[in-house]
Amino acid sequence: MERIKVLETHFVSGTSGTGERTQATPRNDEFNLIAIDLYLRTGDHNFIFANPKELDPSESDPNHLKQNYIIGFIFPREQEDKRIFIDEKWYKTFKEAFKTLNEMNSANKEDMQIDYRSEVIEAETEKELKT
């Protein structure tokens, strides 16, 4: 792995059978864009983006994403000379990925996986401070 590193996803989702899921991976209509930080492989916070509608669906249910996608490869020679190859389904800039979106295909807010834990903790903390 010193000569080549694989850049890949590992999507995790809720329990199969909930939220119209037939498997425990995200549905392809739950996201408008996917952003992946390549930090663990590159050592830099470089984001790449994908339109989930452009990614190949799961083999067992076309409404779901696969758990793993190969994004590309990095050849990590010297830090200043490392070469990164990204698959054409992934975009290096938000602007490029944004151009692929269609308002008709946008995710409904109620279907999005939004993490509200910080708001719940904040509300609980405020409640405790008042008592």
pLDDT digits (tens, 9 = 90+) for 33-73: 899 998 888 788 889 999 999 999 999 899 889 989 999 98
Residue 64 exposed, middle or buried by CB count within 10 Å (0-12, 13-18, 19+): buried
**What is the DSSP-derived secondary structure letter of residue 109?**
G
What's the whole-number mean pLDDT along residues 88-105?
90
Higher-confidence residue of 21 and 86: namely 86
- With 0-12 / 13-18 / 19 or more C-beta atoms within 10 angstroms meaning exposed / middle / buried, residue 30 is buried
Q: How far lies 46's CA from each of 79, 80, 103, in Å?
A: 14, 15, 27
* Chain-centre distance for alpha carbon 99: 17
Average pLDDT, the chain: 82
- Count the Cβ atoms, other than its own, within 10 Å of residue 98: 13
- Selected residue with higher pLDDT from 58 and 5: 58
Q: Is the pTM of this model over 0.85?
A: no
Nearest Cα neighbor of 14 from 26, 6, 29 is: 26
**Is a pLDDT exceeding 70 seen at residue 17?**
no
Range with the poorest average pLDDT among 6-15, 22-31, 46-55, 116-125: 6-15
- The pLDDT value recorded for residue 98 is 92
Instruction: Kindly give the residue spans of alpha helices, DSSP state H, lying in 10-49.
Output: 39-42
Average pLDDT value for residue range 104-127: 78
Q: What is the pLDDT of residue 108?
A: 72
